Amino acid sequence: MSVPRDDGFVHLADYTPPAWRILHAELAFELDPDDTQVSARLQLEPDPAQPGQVLVLDGVDLELVDIRLDGRALSPADYAYDGRHLRLPGPRQPCVLETRVRIRPAANTRLEGLYRSGALLLTQCEAQGFRRITFFADRPDVMPRWRIVLRAPKAAYPVLLANGNPAGTRDLDDGRHEAAWDNPHPTPAYLFAIAAGPLERVSTALDTAEGRRVELNVWAEAADVARCAYALGAVERSLRWDEQRFGRCYDLDVFNVVAAQDFTMGAMENKGLNIFNARYILADEATATDADFLAIESVVAHEYLHNWSGNRVTLRDWFQLSLKEGLTVFRDSEFSADLHSRALKRIEAVRLLRGRQFAEDAGALAHAVRPDRYREISNFYTLTIYEKGAEIVRLLHTLLGETAFRAGMDRYFADNDGRAATLEDFLAAHAAASGRDLSQFMRWYTQGGTPELRIHADFSGGDYRLVVEQHTPPTPGQDTKAPLLIPLRLALHDAQGRAITAAPRTDARLRDDGVELLAARHELVWSGLPAPPLAAFNQGFAAPVKLHFDYSADELARLARLERDPFNRWDLVQRLATGALLGGLDPAAAESALSDALADLLDDDAADPAFVTECLALPDFDTLAEAVDEVDVDALVARREDLVMRLTENLAAPLSTRYAALAGVAAGGLDGPAMAARALRNACLAWLTRLDPTAAQAQAQFDRAANMTARLAALRCLVHFDAPGAEAALESFRVAHRDDPLVTDKWIAVVATRPHPETRDAVAALMDSPWWKPANPNRVRAVLGSFARSNPLGFHRRDGAGYQLVAGQVRALDTVNPQVAARLLGAFESWRKLAGPARAQAGAALSALRGKLASPDSRDLLARLLDT
Ligand code: TRP
Ligand code: ZN
């Protein structure tokens, strides 16, 4: 399955089931940061349908110490190892293979396989890290049951964790000790994990709905354990929610979560032993913002929810990645929506989709949610797999309704429990449970690119006619696309603002809330109307498409007033702003409608302040850049800034009023109203600071802040608006948090995103300072990720020095952590859309990397960026 063809790609079409199965895996670790020995005892069995195949195991850069087949030591003539694969031509029958290898965790900066982070030893195996630990069939459809034994010096490694249930501990000689773990569930190697070290915990216990007593633990190093309580609560809420909403119970006696300072991604759902980037665990009000708390809860939920969507039902092959990731993002977003505000959660998701996933779908790295080939799977942990994948599950939910969707999910879990499944299995379960044919729906997974709907209206003789055309633009490797099944919600309003409830005549399929589009073109006709109605489409952004319809600024403003659903109101305000900035609407009319809408919201004491905050946050640079054909960075940033400046001048009074009035509520704790009040106050502060060169309000908020949310927002205002107190504030923040890497990352990101071309040099200076830690992915993201992704004026600086800086660092980081380097290279995904000189400079910076990159990860990305 993972054997590349001559073209260097692994192809979906080449999938074959494993020729050898692994029924049971027994692993013993002698842990040491410089020299760990791993003994493996694998019970193997050939697939009866494929007899006579050579036994081939994955194993990357392992030092083989000992190898035995059915107890007999093998001689070098019995096997071949080339540093990547171990070939054993001998065995034909079920057998037991025992190997012993040596690995070096402390030298492992890739953070894949077994590595050291601070005083801890940890693993990260997804997608293909397990082969760096021992010889194994490292593919998700090989799912043994496991026994894991860990041995280590007790003083340095007092806690020894692995997947599954604890199966006993004992002291050994020489101050060492041992812990055994049993994982009774069939589990692929990518979900293997161990964690060892001076860990401390917060803990609770509960009984599942099935009556199983479960111990929940969140572990961290001693200095951090006081900041684990919130994450523990989030674990408990996630477990309860999956019981209630999906009827899924936890299935082991213990659920462990470990926080690590060095971690490439967000977190990892290893069976019974989730390992997290510390930034998604550690929080208290003095060091974490409200946004951090919400992100922690949502990532904790994401990883916990994988226990069913990913672990109990796993993947047949890596092409099915979205089967677990898209589905689990859908599940975690429903969790957040059920616990907090559904509308706000939807706004957050749609922002991410429009700002980032649409750009990915339109750029050099575009791919289908289920690609049909890849060179390097670690480059496919993308917004398309995760966020668009979640949108497709949401579409299915919209199409079927909650009851049929839940029945389909139950069927999916029942039919595929303990198995390695495909996206076809997922849709087959939903088709069977609902009786619907979902074959056309499958195209959402196989076709890349964002679908576009163009809707034309015309009114004559009492007939209102809508022509709806769909089109998906070409993406790399896919020139033409077939029509998708799209549920399109729509509503018509008459001149008095009343809903027109009559159904249209149409060749599309009617739904209660609109139509289902099946073909490239459909018509909808309403007859006998006295006047042209006002139409609204795609409420709730139910379909993840770009929709084009000619509205006037007046019509948008009218719709915004008619609309009761907060998400839709937000969306209309965004459209007004986009129209004002990018044309398409009469700019003066759009701007005054926008200003009025924002003034109304600021005056409306009944409106949720969190919602008002979202409306004040105009479309960001990424969203605007995505919506135009050619990007002139400086002009776009300037136009947006000018609009915000004029709006601020109009709205100064209500902004000041709201800022002052919310002070009391904002001083509260972590409850929803207090968080919402802080969000709106911080938004008001950012707008108002534009009008005050002394930034007195921001300075006062910084000096008096009682929590990180208020302090960091004030610091950002001071630094980004070049306030006189900026340097002193930065210095005091720096000193106060110098021993906390996560808070240090916060001021670094503030510095790296200061909207000015000179920031490029400030970033270069940071990399010459003791703050630069290239082996720590969070630090690399704070310095370079935030610069390349969130500082258009710096990254796209006119002389090309921003591109050169980032490209040069990709080259350096590639030898430290290839996944981090490749991700950073992704900041160039839309380079071909840049106007004139910028495009040439970005292209030159990329071309200069040709032949200079060490890892397959970065090489694959560079080849796709340059279309070679
Ligand atoms: N499966 C993880 C998730 O929850 C993603 C992940 C964590 C990952 N670590 C990784 C992916 C390392 C690739 C490499 O989404
Ligand atoms: Zn995931």
**Rounded to the nearest 5 degrees, what angle is found at the Cα of 524, between the Cα atoms of 519 and 530?**
170
Q: What are the residue ranges in the chain where pLDDT is below 50?
A: none
∠ Cα 789 795 800 (to 5°): 150
Q: Measuring CA to CA, which residue among 183, 101, 84, 103 is closest to residue 143? A: 183
User: Which pLDDT score, from 0 to 100, does residue 3 have?
Assistant: 87
Task: Out of 98, 126, 221, 303, pick the active-site residue.
Answer: 303
Length of the chain: 868
Can you give the pLDDT at residue 4?
94
In testing the pocket of ligand 1, which one of 111, 187, 264, 325 has its CB within 8 Å of the most ligand atoms? 264
Indicate if ligand 1 lies below 6 Å from the C-beta of 322.
no
What is the spatial distance between Cα 857 and Cα 704, in angstroms, rounded to a whole number? Answer: 46
The ligand 1 atom nearest the CA atom of 263 = 9
In degrees and rounded to multiples of 5, residue 272 shows phi and psi of 75, -5
With beta carbons less than 8 A apart as the criterion, state whether 373 and 9 touch: yes
| Secondary element (H or E) of residue 409 | helix 402-416
Residue to substitute in 122, 124, 126 for testing ligand 1 pocket (most ligand atoms within 8 angstroms of CB): 126
Asked if 136 contacts 41 with a C-beta cutoff of 8 angstroms, the reply is: no
Q: Which ligand sits closest to the CA of 276?
A: 1
From the CA of 274, which ligand is nearest?
Answer: 1
CA of 163 to the centre of ligand 2 (A): 17
Ligand 1: residue whose CA is nearest its atom 2: 268
Phi, psi of 469, deg, nearest 5? -115, 135
Atom of ligand 1 nearest to the CA of 267: 7
* C-alpha 333 – ligand 2 centre gap (Å): 12
pLDDT at 2: 65
Which residue's alpha carbon is at the smallest distance from atom 7 of ligand 1?
A: 268
- Mapping DSSP to helix (H, G, I), strand (E, B) and coil, where does residue 100 land? strand
Residue type (1 letter), 94: P
φ/ψ of residue 853, rounded to 5: -100, 140
Q: Give yes or no for residue 325 CB within 6 A of ligand 1.
A: yes
- Residue with CA nearest ligand 1 atom 4: 268
Q: What torsion do the CA atoms of 698, 699, 704, 710 make, to the nearest 10 degrees?
A: 30
482 DSSP assignment: P
Give whole-number Cα distances, 94 to 45, 390, 625, in Å: 4, 41, 58
Looking from the CA of residue 299, the nearest atom of ligand 1 is 4
CA of 190 to the centre of ligand 1 (A): 10
**Residue 390's closest CA among 321, 312, 304, 339?**
321
Alpha helices in 101-252 (DSSP H): 229-246
Residue 679: cis peptide before it, omega within 30 degrees of 0:
no
User: Over 216-262, what HEC string results?
Assistant: EEEEEEHHHHHHCHHHHHHHHHHHHHHHHHHCCCCCCCEEEEEEECC
Closest ligand relative to 327 C-alpha? 2
- 113 token code pair: 């396989």
Distance separating alpha carbons of residues 434 and 742, to the nearest angstrom: 47
For the Cβ of 264 lying below 6 angstroms from any atom of ligand 1, the answer is yes
- 112: Cβ below 6 Å to ligand 1? no
Q: Is 303 a catalytic residue?
A: yes
> Does any ligand 1 atom lie closer than 6 A to the CB of residue 357?
no
Residue of 268, 311, 327 best suited for mutating to test ligand 1, as the one with most atoms within 8 Å of CB: 268
Residues 788, 794, 800, CA angle at the centre, nearest 5°?
Answer: 90
Q: How far is the CA of 300 from the centre of ligand 2 (A)?
A: 10
**Rounded to 5°, angle at Cα 215 from 213 and 221:** 175
For the stretch 153-173, pLDDT in tens is 999 999 999 999 999 999 999
Measured in Å, residue 296 CA sits from the centre of ligand 2 at: 14
Residue 302 Cβ inside 6 Å of ligand 1? The answer reads yes
Rounded Cα gap, residues 13 and 580, in angstroms = 47
Distance CA 522, CA 237 (A): 45
Tell me which residue of 777, 774, 764 sits closest to 820, measured CA to CA: 777
Give the C-alpha separation, 441 to 427, whole Å.
9
Tell whether pTM > 0.85.
yes
For residue 306, the CA-to-ligand 2 centroid distance in Å is 7
In this structure, the dihedral spanned by the alpha carbons of residues 775, 778, 782 and 784, taken in order and rounded to 10 degrees, is: 40
